[in-house]
Structure 1
Amino acid sequence: MLAGARLVLPTGIVENGVLAVERDRIAAAGPAGPAAVPGALDLAGRTVVPGFVDIHVHGGGGASYASGVAEEALKAARTHLQHGTTTTMASTVTGEIDEVCRQAAVLSELVEDGVLAGIHFEGPFISRQRCGAHRPDLLRDPDPAVVRRLVEAARGTARMLTLAPELPGGLESVRLLADLGVIAAVGHTDADHATVLQAIDAGATVATHLFNAMPAIHHREPGPIVALLEDERVTVELVNDGVHLHPSVLELALTAAGTSRVALITDAMGAAGMGDGLYPLGPLQVRVEEGVARLVEGGSIAGSTLTLDVAFKRAVTVTGLSLDDAVQTLSGNPAALLGLSDEIGSLEAGKRADLVVLDSDTLDLVAVMRRGEWVVGADRLTPARVG
């Protein structure tokens, strides 16, 4: 039992609330009763929000999901769990098809074990003109047969695939992904406005890190950004790390799409949770300086070193979102996108006991619970006084 906390619930914020956990589930969440509960933990001065959900992350803790090594994938997932991400996808990067299939086979076992929520294939079906931190020589057109091969290599755990719909086979592959129950995401694209609208009509429902790795808005050629922002069927990913997007651009996207269609992501690579230095990103080398990740060759931004606890704090203290809207963009919306709203994404009775405890004044992370077990900060919480 957690008592005295500020709870951010779907119905609003409850001060001096109580949250009860039974095994791996939330049993109750709401206002405190008339008396203290024996055995409760005192969370006065703390705020409790649902566990964060990251749908786009490549690694952390010095480890990469694209390594194809289970121990590295576990290390990456645990690193982000330490920062409040209780549900995480594993994002790959462009590589030889055989190698990405091998990576998918390894990652699929961790999905089956409940460590990961699914696999996100980012590349190789992306534009050479907008490849970012992907090796141009390994890019290829989205042949539906090859797309199907990647999905099948994941053995039912593929949840999302990013592609450029303007490439030969792009729209056909979007339709295939929709038929297979895999989210088709538009990203690393040089498509025009009309082509992206066609992709959305074909079944694409996500904008991969909107604004990044796609043409800018032009007043006569609006391009992919406007198409993705204006369609209610699309969830837009945004990286709120202070590097990928200017604050005014972030505000523009939040205003245009509304907080109900935004998923704040990390797009983190192996340096997340680590210091500056050299790190691999698939077959490429990345140099991190002052927390900013860029390719050694060419200098392109190469993902981020962001963690979602920092993204949550920035959303409120820098971007100006309310606590409710921040929870929506970091937990509720991505959970809904993955079809997991019945299990995660909000503090409600019956849902998994995935939660993050924050200092109410600073919004710094204090503790993390996943599936009813404290994984971070249990020693920082003290029993409430009774009587």
Structure 2
Amino acid sequence: MNATAPLSSVAPRLTSLSHGGGCGCKIAPGVLSQILAQSGAAGLVPPELLVGLETADDAAVYRLNDEQALVATTDFFMPIVDDPYEFGRIAATNALSDVYAMGGRPIMALALVAMPIGQLPLETIGAILRGGQDTCRAAGIPVAGGHTIDSVEPIYGLVAMGLVHPERVRRNAGARPGDVLILGKPLGVGVYSAALKKEQLSDAHYREMLASTTRLNTPGPILADLEGVHAITDVTGFGLAGHALEMARGAGATIAIDWARVPLLPGVAELAAQGFVTGASGRNWAGYGEAVALEAGLPATTQALATDPQTSGGLLVACAPEAADQVLTVFAREGFDRAAVVGEVQAGEARLRVRA
């Protein structure tokens, strides 16, 4: 299949109907902070609410009893690929990732569907929903309902719910000085999407993109059962730098990333050097770049790749050094053969250092 070919002579390319795609659609982090500050978002905080808005975590967690807590999250976006079935799979995989990132196991989902009914054939919309349903089936859960509206741009995602033991919740704020950082998936989905939008992504790289974005982050709840794992988050729209910085702020510590150890999807460095970079990458840097130190000697593309928005990206795990081999073994057993140690947590102010 040609990665950039339209689906038919009648249906428009999905990506042509949206101003952005995947997690690159996220509101820039600086703007989001201002919106939340003005919204009075804190509101009522019952004692059962174990995780809320306070550390920009991946999902809310509500204690049900001594053995169970409900993990609840939602994620939706505009198309990152033109194949409707694959768009559905990617969006669903991305939404379920936040449950896994909290250490939870998904139990059900609700579909969020907004489609330009007058522009897309009904079979195209049906294929999007079928892709999401098949991903949920692979995760062992039902799509138990949802909501649909007629929209100017195509949007699809899920409300995802899961269960976790209250003592096994893994937040993005639990990292400790001395921990090592392990990244579960290689970076570069945003770069691939930028090349796809301009019809410059090869078939081989398109297949790599699909393989990465449709791989469920199933190691999450397994890792949460390991005593040496202190924090987990998933790397999505704010890029590796943004989500590592959230982890640093939550821990009140410095995070150092060794750039040479960060795995990249095939061809991503070359594509970025050719200028295939998303607008979201620049917005990300504008939102948090003042808290990131890029050391001398790094490749010219480091800033763009560190801020590259990842749709359905990998888990970022902070664990004790003695647990690192266990963590890597779990990733490998679940099919994440490029998981790698990429840095460490250090005592110091809440900042991010990217080292050569």
TM-score by shorter chain over 0.5: no
Q: Name the structure where strand makes up a greater proportion of residues.
A: 1
TM-score, normalised via structure 2 length: 0.25
Whichever structure has more helix as a proportion of its residues is 2
Rg larger in structure: 1
